[in-house]
Structure 1
Amino acid sequence: MLIGIDLLWVRPGINGGTESATRNLINGFGMFDDKNEYILFVGKDTAESFEEYKKYPNMKIEICDTESLKRVKRIAWENLNLDKLARSLNVDVMFIPVYSKPNSLSVKKGGIPYITMIYDLQALHFPQYFSKSRLLFFKRSWKKACNTSVKLITSSSYSKEDIEEHFPSSKGKISVIYSPITVTNISEDNFDSKEGLQTESVLAKYGIEKDRYFYTLSSMLPHKNLETLIKTIKLLKESDDTKLVVSGVGGNKESFNSCVKEEGVENLIIDTGFVSDEERDILYENCKLFLFPSTFEGYGMPPIEAMMKGARVVTTKCTCIEEITQGKATYVDDPLNTNEWADAIDKALLLERKKFDFPEYDLKNVTLKYLDVFNGIKEK
């Protein structure tokens, strides 16, 4: 079977967790699928970032005549041309790893069956964060994906119920498959042979010491609730001068910086921006606690990654977070209550460090579940 994967939406280093999960999955298809072949449809301006997948014998790169970084033109090209191109290459099944499924010929008319991933319906719950045109685009895209895909995949039971409630045509189509999560293996001598990164050099880069900083990995979008963390750091600073290290891209950085200044904690907040997986994992392993204050997640990889690396985690019970962390973290009931955050931090600091195993997120296990979906479509 020849499976096409639409990667035209990927803007390297910008898409955040969605890109990470998709790249993990592509590696899974390369490593664990010895029966099917894959065509990766990529933009001509981002093709270089996908060269690494050529190492897999079952992977081919198809560079499309569009640029992924030019969103409007890319979406137009996708809807006008991608399905035609896929059919000309005799693709058997198309997999769209994000909500924006392109126009396609109906399966009843001999078209390719499409499988679409919808992580969450964030814009429906926080419409105030989106322009009217962007919100309309999301709604139309979700509706089209639910109506015209033969199968849908989402990454939590919470999201499945949410999608079915808002888009009844999705009922009976959705499979819940957790996102694949991989972390690096940093050896006991604090050296990672792949990147040559040493723990000491990473900590020195950001001016921090082992067990002397809290860590969070997040965009700066409002629902990520970083403002509450900043206020919590202010609350704690009289008795604890532990710094907060924030990694991630996207969102309103001006608002974040303004909050830091207003709370008077400039000397306690370190914004690293984007970090590599290797740096991220070193920061997980050496933090005092990992704090994840988000009020909305469709899948929420960071707290799971942190627990895999042995970090003690404090997070919320919002949306799918308690589900995907399997009750193994320390939780706050009110994500906006700084006193509750301070109490939860004190509670978590009493816990022993422990690396948790999450077989549900193991790359091979997740890959095999996707292959079951792909093969089930072909058999029909």
Structure 2
Amino acid sequence: MRVALDATPLIGTRTGIGVFVAELLRSIQALEQEGIDIEIAPYTLSVGARLRGKTQGAWVPIPAGKAATVWRRFKGPRIERFVGGVDVVHGTNYLVPPSSHPRLVTVHDLSFLREPVAASVPIARFDRAVADAVNTGAVVHAISNFVADEIRDRYAAPDVRVVYPGVHPRPSSREPKGTSPVLVTLGVTQRRKGISDLISAFGLIAQANKSVELHIIGPAGDDENRTNQLVGRLPASIAARVQRIGFVDDEERDRRIADATILVHPSHYEGFGLPVVEAMASGTPVVTTTGGAIPEIAGDAALMVDPGDVDALASALTHVLEDEQIRAHLIQAGRDRAARFSWADTAGGLIDVYDSFL
């Protein structure tokens, strides 16, 4: 079985979707070595990457931002023109090209509908792209049951398959926890990520807890200015305990998650919530929200509050910081929960979907 797979998300700063594609490819290749009959034919839609010599696999000479419009208007070119003969086509990031063979499109969430003002024009086009994929017969891959239900409601999609992303097993931090408790949050500074809520909550708990620190890890997004303003409004002694770390590589990301006292994921909406599962696998307690798919993914292994409730978030963080028993419970429950998600299962589940087309 030969599968054309969109590798465009691997280019540039690695986001959650890039992690998904990288781990899927790695896990499929591992299964291929075990005798599974599958060959991945990656393709890339980025003109800039082509110019820099960083394309993954075959290059499709259409800018990613215009691909949906081109494919909708002209019903082509078919992907086989660029990658050769295939049995299945998998669009990993909302877009799937025309093909004479079965097509699968991965939809990670519908955040572009929830924040239309914050969404950029290319992201807003994803609504039409998903609708076009469904209307032309593509099967939809959703990364959670929550997202699957949203897709069915929005697009009346007749065939939606749920396959969860995974997480690697990982040991707890080998470094002793510092004397100062550290709250870590990961994500782009977008409004839906709730980082501004966390800063406000941190301002409340840091008045009583004179040593707690907040580390914000991730690139700048549409809420960057407001994030900086909120930090600037904190008393100087508290603002000094907020570290803006920016983008980090995978190794440092894993280390910082494992070393954290609490992983805080205050998002208003998630299609899955990968940092939640990563922290659980690392033995780090999680405080998060009930936004989107998070309750489905976290189960009873995290302390959850309503999205946007700053007082409740501050109370939950204080509870975990001060109660050793609840920390121990969250650590063990988190490890048990994370064991349900593996990249091998993700690859195997998607290969089962590919097989169902043949």
CA 1:75 to 1:300, structure 2 compared with 1: closer, same or farther past 3 Å? same
1:211 touches 1:286 (CA, 8 Å); kept in 2?
no
Distance in 2, matches of 1:121 and 1:182, equals: 26
Using the TM superposition, give the Cα deviation of residue 88 of structure 1 relative to its aligned residue in structure 2, in angstroms: 6.4
Measure the CA separation in 2 of the matches of 1:156 and 1:301.
Answer: 11
**Quick check: 2:68–2:129 contact (8 Å CA) kept in 1?**
no
Report whether the alignment pairs 1:227 with 2:222: no
Note the 1:126-275 alignment, pairs <5 A: 126-130=115-119, 133-134=121-122, 136-168=124-156, 170-171=157-158, 173-182=159-168, 190=174, 209=178, 212-240=181-209, 241-252=211-222, 253-264=224-235, 265-275=238-248
Q: Evaluate the alpha carbon distance shift between residue 113 and residue 183 of structure 1 in structure 2; reply closer, same or farther with a 3 A threshold.
A: same
Note closer, same or farther for the CA distance 1:226–1:39 as it changes in structure 2 (3 Å cut): same
Q: TM-score, normalized by length of structure 2?
A: 0.85
Q: Residue type matched to 1:62 in 2?
A: A
What does the per-residue CA deviation read over 1:287-343, in whole Å, with 9 as the maximum and x for residues that have no partner? 1111110000011100110010000010001111011112210111x3222221122
- Which residue of structure 2 aligns with residue 58 of structure 1? none
1:341 correspondence with 2:305 = no
Q: CA RMSD in A?
A: 2.7
Change (3 A) 1:116 1:282: same
Is the 8 Å Cα contact of residues 178 and 360 (structure 1) preserved in structure 2? no
Counterpart CA distance in 1 for 2:166 and 2:137 is 22
The aligned runs of 1:1-380 (5 Å cut-off) are: 1-14=1-14, 16-33=15-32, 34-42=36-44, 43=46, 45-46=48-49, 61-65=57-61, 71-72=64-65, 83-86=78-81, 89-102=84-97, 104-105=98-99, 111-130=100-119, 133-134=121-122, 136-168=124-156, 170-171=157-158, 173-182=159-168, 190=174, 209=178, 212-240=181-209, 241-252=211-222, 253-264=224-235, 265-332=238-305, 334-349=306-321, 350=323, 351-352=327-328, 353-354=331-332, 356-357=335-336, 358-378=338-358
Structure 1: which amino acid aligns with 2:356?
A: G
How far residue 221 of structure 1 moved from its aligned partner, in angstroms, is 0.5
1:210-259 Cα distance to aligned partner (Å, 9 max, x none): 65311011110101111111011111122113111111124132221122
Cα distance in 1 between the residues matched to 2:64 and 2:220? 16
Tell me which amino acid in the other structure corresponds to 1:159: V
Q: Distance in 1 between matches of 2:208 and 2:54?
A: 46
**Alpha-carbon deviation of 1:30?**
0.4
Structure 1 residues not aligned, in runs of 5+: 52-60, 106-110, 191-198, 201-207
Q: Quick one: distance in 2 between partners of 1:6 and 1:232?
A: 40
Change (3 A) 1:161 1:46: same
5+ residue gaps, structure 2, are: none
Q: Distance in 2 between matches of 1:30 and 1:272?
A: 33
SS of match in other structure, 2:226: helix
Contact map agreement 1:21 1:181 (CA 8 A) in 2? no
Question: 1: distance between equivalents of 2:37 and 2:179?
Answer: 46
Distance 1:279 1:87, change over 3 A: closer
Secondary structure of 2:8's aligned partner: coil
Answer yes or no: is the 8 Å Cα contact 2:112–2:119 preserved in 1: yes
State whether residues 183 and 214 of structure 2, in contact with CA within 8 Å, keep that contact through their aligned partners in structure 1: yes
The alpha-carbon distance between structure 1 residues 212 and 77, as it changes in their structure 2 partners (threshold 3 A), is same
Q: Is the 2:146–2:292 contact (alpha carbons within 8 Å) kept by the matching residues of 1?
A: yes
Task: State the distance in 2 between where 1:209 and 1:176 align.
Answer: 40
- Give the drift of 1:77: 7.2
The answer on whether the counterparts of 1:121 and 1:159 sit within 8 Å (CA) in structure 2 is yes
Q: Tell me if structure 2 keeps the 8 A contact 1:234–1:263.
A: yes
Q: Aligned partners of 2:278, 2:133: CA distance in 1, in Å?
A: 30
Q: Go from structure 1 to structure 2 and tell me whether the alpha carbon gap of 1:159 and 1:76 turns closer, same or farther (over 3 Å shift).
A: closer
* Displacement of 1:26: 0.6
Shift of 1:276: 1.4
**What's the TM-score, normalizing by structure 1?**
0.81
